[in-house]
Amino acid sequence: MENVINLLRESGAMLEGHFLLSSGLHSDKYFQCAKLLQYPQKAQAALDDVVKKIKEEIKLGKFKVDIIAGPAMGGIIAAWEVARQMGLPSIFTERDENGIMTLRRGFELQEGQNILIVEDTITTGKSSHECVEAIEKTGAKAVALACIVDRRSQQAEEFRWPFYPAVKITANNWQASECILCKQGLPAVKPGSRRNI
């Protein structure tokens, strides 16, 4: 995990300040994993241990994976890299004109296919859950979840799938009304790609 933290720092993907996250929460840390994922060797190194763990679980018969899926935007490259290492197809879900996560671009899933969801950063798990909903509408099923950075709070509920983060990093997250940085008068920056909907 220390290796992943070093990769995040080296690539400028771990930022500190006052940020408005896509989830609507405020935080003192932001993970712009796209800055890490722009380097293929760093992407491979960051996700290598995750892929090894998942392959071990598959060998043990815990689950099967047919396709890797990532929610747009952040999950696209991370999912592709995991798929590349596993020798499997990679697809992604994205928001339609109404903000609903869906399969588009001709991607199709068959009933009973086993899908591994891969994200870049998970704060609340909202995008992951929306990706699962889009996938399960097709009759396929989510069997596991992976990410580069797990930045959920210590009190976060466990996921209902096996979960494989490359690194767990504690970051302070606040509701806007409780944000310590807002109370100090520090302006919030919104670097993410998702509009709050």
Residue 197 pLDDT level (bands cut at 50, 70, 90): very low
Query: How many Å apart are CA 146 and CA 92, to the nearest integer?
Result: 14
**pLDDT confidence of residue 74:** 87
**pLDDT confidence of residue 36:** 95
Query: How many Å apart are CA 77 and CA 70, to the nearest integer?
Result: 8
Residue 180 pLDDT level (bands cut at 50, 70, 90): very high
Q: What are phi and psi of 89, to 5 degrees?
A: -70, 155
Interval 86-130: pLDDT, tens: 999 999 999 999 989 999 998 999 999 999 999 999 988 889 999
**pLDDT confidence of residue 23:** 78
Query: How many Å apart are CA 124 and CA 151, to the nearest integer?
Result: 8
Confidence check: pLDDT of 195 > 90:
no
**pLDDT confidence of residue 194:** 56
Q: Which residue has the tokens 């009973």?
A: 112
Mean pLDDT of 50-60: 97
**pLDDT confidence of residue 192:** 65
**pLDDT confidence of residue 156:** 80
HEC assignment per residue over the chain: CHHHHHHHHHCCCEEEEEEECCCCCEEEEEECCHHHHCCHHHHHHHHHHHHHHHHHHHHCCCCCCCEEEEECCCHHHHHHHHHHHHCCCEEEEEECCCCCEEECCCCCCCCCCEEEEEEEEECCCHHHHHHHHHHHCCCCEEEEEEEEEECCCCCCCCCCCCEEEEEECCCCEECHHHCHHHHCCCCCECCCCCCCC
Out of 48-57, 112-121, 142-151, 164-173, which region has the weakest mean confidence (pLDDT)? 164-173
Confidence check: pLDDT of 45 > 80:
yes
**pLDDT confidence of residue 193:** 58
Mean of the per-residue pLDDT values for the chain? 92
Residue 196 pLDDT level (bands cut at 50, 70, 90): very low
Name the more confident of 86 and 16: 86
Structure token digits, residue 117:
């969801």
